[in-house]
Amino acid sequence: MRTVLLRVFLATGFVLSIACAKAPPQPPPPAPRPHLLLISLDACRADHLSVYGYGRETSPFLAELSARGTLFRHAFCNTHGTTPSHATMLSSLYQETHRIEYRAAEGENKQEAVPKRVVLLPEILKAEGYITLGVTDGGQMARGYGFDRGFVEFDDAGGGIASGTEKLLAMARRHLPSGAPLFLFLHTYSVHSPYLPPEPYRTLFGEFPHSIEPTSEALLPLANTAWRDLAQGDLDFLKAQYDGGIRHADDTLRRFFGELEADGMLDRTVAAVTADHGEEFADHGGLLHRNFLYEELLRVPLILAGPGVPAGRVEEKLAGLVDLSPTLLALAGTAPKVLMEGRDLLDPAFRGEVLFAQYGNLRYALRTRQWKYIRTTVPEGEELFDLVADPGEKNNAAAVERERARRFSKALEEWRRARPDLGAPIGKVALTPEHEKQLRALGYIQ
């Protein structure tokens, strides 16, 4: 220990030297915990974003955001359908574990709430001292489905992404003076059907002759027969409207992030932008998001940016939405205190070599970087695709690659058996007439 000599003059005139210990240097105060911002663009497929290589300039702002952070090139939902996929995103539990809409393919009621035994990310963050603020576009993300749990403020009145970002910004500004870290969650149906972006986005990517309206009511009867009943002009028109919705969302997010920066929040904010599932445009003969597990439905955008996130990085590992909550918790400096089945995507030990997905108990998929194996339970069947040679998943190789299909089938069954049993029944959602009307417009009920 370093010492210093103090010379004390006594009344006698003598000088007394006293050795005193010098106080050790104090550690710097801990850095404030980051704000967390999670944005879900419902039904946004990754390959319709220019930041993922799409030919139309649909996502220039997300390209800028990814340059400041990490873009996951191979990100996927682990189930699709708004309620079960968001439950996986916010709980880090597979559908095989949380069981929301697990038997929907058997004709059971799809309007199922998140059971209380499933702990959601905002509940964890609130217990860790975060002020949790959420805005959704309602529908199957309304409070009746349980997605308000853990939020200090929650708004599910809907209104689209422009309205949603304004409301979330107002919430953040109310709580920012407290100095506490904020968790901000934004969900929007602005990309989801009906494909009706505001002007000028309806004609931004061209005008095409068409005989169909881009509403869910008009598209649902064609969902399984698009290849027979849609002219090319109709399909081009639907894609242009959908892409216009993506660009509208992208431009709105640019303004929103600009406001966060002006408020001094952005440098302290970890932002995650993703989607709960993709959308089909006759890729396999249908429209919307049917009960299949092909790439157009599973592959979603995933961009992380902010403190603790590597900048300018494109990540090639397989990433699932089941991994998102553990990743955000790690960036917040806390570890999950409840069961989570995902991993921290930024952990160097995370290898990301295999990904599992499902559609209830009807279809299951195992995916590697090169191969995807799909098992259908009713009627029984299997598909195997070489995604390098056949990225469009048109040629089923299961009969040719029999040994590979057998190994993947075994691995898939082992994964299913390893899922924990949480027990307890699923809660049903009581729908009001107004809520039914909203769900019908979104194509959730007919």
Q: Which whole number is the average pLDDT over 119-140? A: 97
pLDDT at 154 over 70: yes
Predicted confidence band of residue 27 (pLDDT cuts 50, 70, 90): low
Residue 359 sits at φ, ψ, to 5 deg, of -125, 95
Residue 30: predicted pLDDT: 67
- Does 425 or 313 have the greater pLDDT score? 313
Both structure tokens of 99: 């069981």
pLDDT at 17 over 70: no
Residue 423: predicted pLDDT: 81
- Does 172 or 433 have the greater pLDDT score? 172
Ranges of beta strands (E only) in 167-286 are 182-188, 269-274, 280-281
- Nearest alpha-carbon partner for 329 in 348, 350, 354, 308: 308
pLDDT at 10 over 50: no
CB atoms within 10 A of CB 86: 27
Give the model confidence (pLDDT) of 244-271 as tens digits: 999 999 999 999 999 999 999 999 999 9
Both structure tokens of 352: 């990301």
Structural domains of the chain, ranges and CATH numbers in brackets: 35-352 (3.40.720.10), 370-421 (no CATH)
Residue 445: predicted pLDDT: 81
Q: Which whole number is the average pLDDT over 277-304? A: 97
- Does 356 or 3 have the greater pLDDT score? 356
Output the furthest CA–CA distance in the chain (Å, rounded). 112
Residue 426: predicted pLDDT: 72
Q: Are 140 and 83 in contact (CB under 8 A)?
A: yes
Q: How many CA atoms lie within 13 A of 284 on its CB side?
A: 18
Residue 19: predicted pLDDT: 45
